[in-house]
Structure 1
Amino acid sequence: MAGEPLGGEADWPGRGLLHDLAACLRFYSRLPVPRLLGEPEPHAAPDFRTAPRMLPLAGLILALPPALILIAGWRIGLGPFVAATLAVAVGVLLTGALHEDGLADVADGFGGGATPERRLEIMRDSRIGAYGGVALVLALALRIGALATLLDRTGIAAAVAMVLAAVLSRVAALAPMVMLRPVRPEGLSAAVGRPGTATLAVAVGSGLILALLTLPFGVPFLGIVGMVALALAAALAVTRIARAKIGGQTGDVVGACQQLAEIGALLGLLTVV
């Protein structure tokens, strides 16, 4: 019947992992993920003490449709720029511009506020300002430009790189959650909790394994190293700036971290290919 949970018996191998994957997909996207058997409340905020262990796989799933659009657009002769633009647009639609919204809010708050309190107040405002608008334009331009250049240089390997950048950036975006305290006790970032050591190790380890699995698909080893290095550098930079500007992290900071880490990953590969 409609609305009934999926999954079989209450206790089955991998149930926790599948629940965490479903929670990540719901949280990070607009995909209509059905309720699974044993889930107490599928629409509640995910428990980030465990859920991020499935974040690399969730990132891979969310990046597959845009990657397929990138290949299809290129194959039918739309050209690298148009194909890359369509791919990024599909990705934004799938996530509901979740990370882009965070980037815009952080740019407005950090750029327009003189005190931590004022910065947080600006970040809470749903309206977008000049700093946020410019940040969005530049971020989208860099992502589209990087993908178009990769498509021109590497062909189908650009789609593989797009998937890998999505995986690495989401893992890298855990940095502020692990290293900084939530600055709003009532905020979503505080409600979801912090990834534990074991969870972080699984997320990082599986992300690196997925990175190495791209080798047979045309992504060079030095390119993978560059992607990992620049994604991590971008995440650590955002974390450091957030500590200086507001003394901690919010969901918007995590979103901004993901965006800049994705750009860093793509640029890291471009320096090699």
Structure 2
Amino acid sequence: MTAWRPLPRPGLARAVLELATAFVWLTRFPLAGLVSRELPPLARTGWAFPLVGLAVGLMAALVLALAAWLGLPAPVAALLAVAAMVLATGGLHEDGLADLADAGGGADRDRRLAIMRDSRIGSYGVLALILVTGLRIAAIAALFAAAPMLAIAALPGIAAASRAGMVAGLGLMPPARPDGLGRLAGRSPPGQIAMAILLAGLALLAPALATDRPALAAAAAAVAIGLAQLWLAHRAMRRLGGQTGDVLGAMQQAGEAAGLVALTLFV
């Protein structure tokens, strides 16, 4: 990859390049050919993170809609929907969640950062994956059993909204390491954070409008996502001194789980 140099290009072409770059970093979609020569810093593509989440969530929503058409039980449908999201991202964010959880066993900051770079998974990581993934599946199953349309709308909306917190983390938290993704990605400027939050808010309208109390549902989902991600960000600042790619991935997972659980209050 060559260093990105801002070139004079139309706004639409630049936006397409940034969107494709976000997809290359955050998913396994085959779009690398679109960014092979001029790769913007990841932080400069933050506005597109919710759109990436929207695409990932739409894949899961299609799976859920197919499951509803086939008459599959809610737990099976929910498991297949989460599997679709894992397939789309390559388990990138789940891996970050497991690494961050394993770091909890480190005695000091340097040891915790070293643990996060270890490719092996420990008991803390396994437990975190079981609990958070299980919570996502259980929440989707509850939504699907009670209100299938709400469940289908929730997946893209929550997937998009939970990725806005990653942009805020890139912009507001310093990198924990002098190298690694957290440093290479750069710092998201305020405009990127604001655009990501705006898109996240719009994405939450779809599941909210599928409830009887849309304003309250949207607010509850947004607050749940924000609180879960703020809690993780606070712990990362205290124990690691900043953010890494694993921290950002864990924030996405925690936010998604919290947002889905919040929506179960409205069925």
Please state whether the residue corresponding to 2:71 is helix, strand or coil: coil
Q: Which letter does structure 2 place at the counterpart of 1:151?
A: F
The structure-2 alpha-carbon separation of the partners of 1:176 and 1:215, relative to structure 1 and needing over 3 Å to count, comes to: closer
Question: Is the 8 Å Cα contact of residues 63 and 163 (structure 1) preserved in structure 2?
Answer: yes
- TM-score by length of structure 2 reads 0.91
Give the structure 1 partner of residue 55 of structure 2.
Answer: 61
Question: Is the 8 Å Cα contact of residues 157 and 205 (structure 2) preserved in structure 1?
Answer: no
**Which structure 2 residue ranges, 5 or more long, are not aligned?**
1-7
Task: Confirm whether residue 269 of structure 1 aligns to residue 263 of structure 2.
Answer: yes
Task: Confirm whether residue 106 of structure 1 aligns to residue 104 of structure 2.
Answer: no
Task: Confirm whether residue 141 of structure 1 aligns to residue 134 of structure 2.
Answer: yes
Identify which of 220, 232, 235 aligns with 2:226.
232
Give the structure 2 partner of residue 186 of structure 1.
Answer: 179
User: 1:48-197 maps to which residues of 2 (within 5 A)?
Assistant: 48-110=42-104, 112-197=105-190
Structure 1 residue 269 displacement after superposition:
1.1
Q: Which letter does structure 1 place at the counterpart of 2:74?
A: P
Question: Is the 8 Å Cα contact of residues 175 and 239 (structure 1) preserved in structure 2?
Answer: no
- TM-score by length of structure 1 reads 0.90
Give the structure 1 partner of residue 241 of structure 2.
Answer: 247
Kindly provide the CA deviation profile for residues 114-166 of structure 1, in whole angstroms up to 9, marking residues without a partner as x.
Answer: 11111111111000000000101111110000000001111122111111110
Structure 1: 4+ residue segments shifted above 3 A? 10-13, 213-219
Give the structure 1 partner of residue 37 of structure 2.
Answer: 41
Identity %: 38
**Which structure 1 residue ranges, 5 or more long, are not aligned?**
1-9
Work out the CA distance in 2 between the residues paired with 1:229 and 1:216.
17
Question: Is the 8 Å Cα contact of residues 50 and 160 (structure 2) preserved in structure 1?
Answer: yes
Work out the CA distance in 2 between the residues paired with 1:60 and 1:193.
23
Please state whether the residue corresponding to 2:175 is helix, strand or coil: coil
The structure-2 alpha-carbon separation of the partners of 1:244 and 1:77, relative to structure 1 and needing over 3 Å to count, comes to: same
Work out the CA distance in 1 between the residues paired with 2:74 and 2:36.
45
